[in-house]
Amino acid sequence: MNDQGEKGEKLEKMRHSASHVMAEAVGSLFPGAKFGIGPVIEDGFYYDFDLPRPLTPDDLPIIEKGMREIIASDSPFTWEEVDKDKARRIFCEQPYKLELIDELPDQLLTIYRQGSFTDLCRGPHVESTGEIKAFKLMSTAGAYWRGDEHRPMLQRIYGVAFETEDELGGHLERLAEAARRDHRRLGKELDLYSIHEEAGPGLVFWHPKGAVVRHIIEEFWVKEHIKRGYEIVYTPHIAKLDLWKRSGHWELYHDYLYSPMDVEGQEYIIKPMNCPGHILMYKTRIRSYRELPIRWAELGTVYRYERSGVLHGLARVRGFTQDDAHIFCRPDQLEDEVIGVLELAQFMMHTFGFSDYEVLLSTRPERYAGTIEVWDEATRTLERSLARLKLPYMVDPGEGVFYGPKIDIKVRDALGRGWQGPTTQVDFNLPERFDVNYIAEDGRERRVVMIHRTVLGSMERFFACLIEHYGGAFPVWLAPVQGVMIPIADRHLEYAQRIKGELLAEGMRAQVDARPERMNLKIREAELQKIPYMLIVGDNEVSDSTVSVRLRSGDDLGALSLQGFKAMAKGAIEAKR
């Protein structure tokens, strides 16, 4: 075990002990409280209670105070092995514990005690309550006993615990920063998108300010794909269910597919994937080995059913636009094609400001299509591609899709949180199911190899990631509004409008804040809207033909000539900064 592991184990013991201390404090506050379970989770712990009244946020400081007293008393944790009968006697007033005891195998059970509290628990714990360091209770939530909606609803208290107050402070600061950057919050504040109960959960409406970012990304994406030898295609959003039966998607994923629609007695579904459509187009004529590789890219909107409970802003939705592409190639072209995809993926990640990512190679799972030989050969090809690119990677054994091995890239945002990034998947299955071939140099029909790949994933999730990564302060090239003109008085309005016109003519996104409000308020609101450039114009600027430039960071660049400002802004846009 390494230091990290030792430290982790120590932290876990401390967090678990904190949950017992919390339970003791709650027990003192609510005599007759019934206890559920209290495990360790990431960064902390929780405990579930059956209490005589609902908890309010005001209860948490009181419980924390009780916990601090227990910690100050430095009571030892002691343990004992008891048989089930004795355990039943100890927990005779704790129905949830009794239920757990009944279900445990007939052997000695461990119980832990500290102060006035006794729990059925395997441990381990710290030596005494004094070892519990920095902690904080975070929130309460309802939780069904054993996760079963037919059992009683208990009250859960969540807490976090760290070894030092500094670490706790850092954690709370990260949480606050994550909340400030939450794309659901910024999506509303910056007027980027909305989701409507009237239309249905998980269905995204892109407002102008979100849509302009998406459109810039899509335009850039299309250009970059064309440059790299892809061709753009469009396919319909519905198709006969039979197509999805043939592809195997119905059998494997029907829980995620929408229910069929009836059209002239035939069942149609809204598409969950773009691949079968591309295959139909491939098969409209005989393809020669000379035509391959064929690289077809589509910003293809797909629909998958997710339970409403798991939907999350833009990050988990029911309809999303994949930046999809399928490559049809010969086996001897696979290595170069994978390299091409990975290079494009890296280029895209860097362009959008993600320099921290990890690469995972997922290999053959237990259930798989094709032969072991083909899998091994394809996996070796992926390894060779990664080696040629000198890309460090980890192997995720058995985590490939059933139809082939894959390379996933997981990116880390500015707060160090991981997001699912580009994926490159080899597919042996669909070419078999749809009989997708080419005529080889020797005149014989051969199976193509298919690659499925996305480099952004979906426009929705990628946008969520971008919003949180930048905290809504998009780089200039993506900013919905790049510059706002702020006239100091009404007499500067005409000049402001003229400058705006000049910026629009250069293809920049500029606005004038012409409201009859004070300059400071306009500046404050422009900062909240994360507009990169505030161009303040008053008497001096009008007479000198300049603009006073203020950045959203609060930095003042002073007066610049209009030429000077345009050069600076266009430089940032061209460099995709």
Interface residue with a copy of itself among 98, 238, 493, 572 (CB under 8 A) is 238
Q: Contact between 311 and a copy of itself (CB under 8 A)?
A: no
Considering beta carbons, is residue 170 or 229 the nearer one to a copy of itself?
Answer: 229
Q: Which of 15, 304, 461, 522 is catalytic?
A: 304
DSSP per-residue string spanning 533-548? EEEEE-HHHHHHTEEE
Interface residue with a copy of itself among 73, 78, 308, 540 (CB under 8 A) is 308
Candidates 453, 396, 400; CA nearest to 424 is: 453
For residue 183, indicate whether it is catalytic: no
**Stretch binding a copy of itself (CB under 8 A), from 146-154, 178-186, 205-213, 488-496:** 205-213
- For residues 101 and 94, is the Cβ–Cβ distance under 8 A? no
For residue 113, indicate whether it is catalytic: no
Q: Binding to a copy of itself (CB under 8 A): which residues in 62-121?
A: none
Over the window 313 to 352, marking each residue x when it contacts a copy of itself by CB under 8 A and - when it does not, the resulting string is: -----xx---------------------------------
Considering beta carbons, is residue 84 or 570 the nearer one to a copy of itself?
Answer: 570
Residue 280 C-beta: closest distance to a copy of itself, Å:
5
Which residue(s) pair with 261 in the sheet? 268
Instruction: Give the whole-angstrom CA distance, residue 145 versus residue 532.
Output: 50
Residue 132 C-beta: closest distance to a copy of itself, Å:
43
CA–CA distance from 402 to each of 9, 249, 278, 377, 430 (Å)? Answer: 35, 12, 20, 16, 11
Residue 237 C-beta: closest distance to a copy of itself, Å:
5
Instruction: Give the whole-angstrom CA distance, residue 337 versus residue 330.
Output: 10
Residue 157 C-beta: closest distance to a copy of itself, Å:
30
Residue 72 C-beta: closest distance to a copy of itself, Å:
50
Instruction: Give the whole-angstrom CA distance, residue 460 versus residue 163.
Output: 38
Interface residue with a copy of itself among 240, 412, 446, 570 (CB under 8 A) is 240
For residue 304, indicate whether it is catalytic: yes
Residue 259 C-beta: closest distance to a copy of itself, Å:
5
Considering beta carbons, is residue 58 or 198 the nearer one to a copy of itself?
Answer: 198
Interface residue with a copy of itself among 72, 263, 387, 567 (CB under 8 A) is 263
Instruction: Give the whole-angstrom CA distance, residue 402 versus residue 289.
Output: 27
Q: Which of 94, 114, 155, 322 is catalytic?
A: 322
Given phi > 0 = left and psi -120 to 50 = alpha, else beta, which region is 10?
alpha
- For residues 47 and 157, is the Cβ–Cβ distance under 8 A? yes
Residue 525 C-beta: closest distance to a copy of itself, Å:
15
Instruction: Give the whole-angstrom CA distance, residue 60 versus residue 68.
Output: 12
Interface residue with a copy of itself among 266, 371, 545, 563 (CB under 8 A) is 266
Q: Contact between 501 and a copy of itself (CB under 8 A)?
A: no
Supply 242's token pair.
Answer: 């039979």
Which residue has 């480099």 as its token pair? Answer: 455
For residue 544, indicate whether it is catalytic: no
For residue 396, indicate whether it is catalytic: no
Considering beta carbons, is residue 314 or 386 the nearer one to a copy of itself?
Answer: 314
For residue 207, indicate whether it is catalytic: no
Q: Contact between 236 and a copy of itself (CB under 8 A)?
A: yes
**Stretch binding a copy of itself (CB under 8 A), from 112-120, 204-212, 494-502, 520-528:** 204-212
Interface residue with a copy of itself among 4, 56, 107, 284 (CB under 8 A) is 284
Torsion of CA 532, 536, 542, 546, to 10 degrees: -40
Site size toward a copy of itself (CB under 8 A) is 57
Candidates 415, 509, 425, 410; CA nearest to 461 is: 410
Supply 460's token pair.
Answer: 């929705």
3-state secondary structure 391-442: CCCEEECCCCECCECEEEEEEECCCCCEEEEEEEEEECHHHHHCCCEEECCC
Residue 287 C-beta: closest distance to a copy of itself, Å:
12
CB atoms within 10 A of CB 214: 20
Which residues neighbour 485 within 8 Å (Cβ) at sequence distance 6 or greater?
Answer: 496, 497, 499, 500, 510, 511, 512, 513, 535, 537, 547
Instruction: Give the whole-angstrom CA distance, residue 473 versus residue 535.
Output: 17
Segment 194-201 long-range contacts (CB within 8 Å, at least 24 positions apart)? 195/313, 200/318, 201/308, 201/311, 201/318
- For residues 302 and 204, is the Cβ–Cβ distance under 8 A? no
- For residues 282 and 295, is the Cβ–Cβ distance under 8 A? no
Instruction: Give the whole-angstrom CA distance, residue 159 versus residue 38.
Output: 11
Q: Which of 452, 461, 509, 552 is catalytic?
A: 452
What ranges in 389-535 are assigned the alpha helix state H?
429-433, 459-470, 493-505, 519-528
**Stretch binding a copy of itself (CB under 8 A), from 210-218, 339-347, 390-398, 568-576:** 210-218
For residue 324, indicate whether it is catalytic: yes
Instruction: Give the whole-angstrom CA distance, residue 25 versus residue 117.
Output: 9
Considering beta carbons, is residue 111 or 257 the nearer one to a copy of itself?
Answer: 257
Interface residue with a copy of itself among 277, 431, 457, 472 (CB under 8 A) is 277
Over the window 508 to 547, marking each residue x when it contacts a copy of itself by CB under 8 A and - when it does not, the resulting string is: -------x--------------------------------
Residues that bind a copy of itself (CB under 8 A): 191, 194, 196, 198-200, 203-208, 211-212, 214-215, 219, 222, 231-240, 242-243, 246, 258-264, 266, 268, 270, 276-277, 280-281, 284-285, 290, 296, 301, 303, 305, 307-308, 318-319, 515
Residues with catalytic annotation?
275, 304, 322, 324, 326, 406, 452
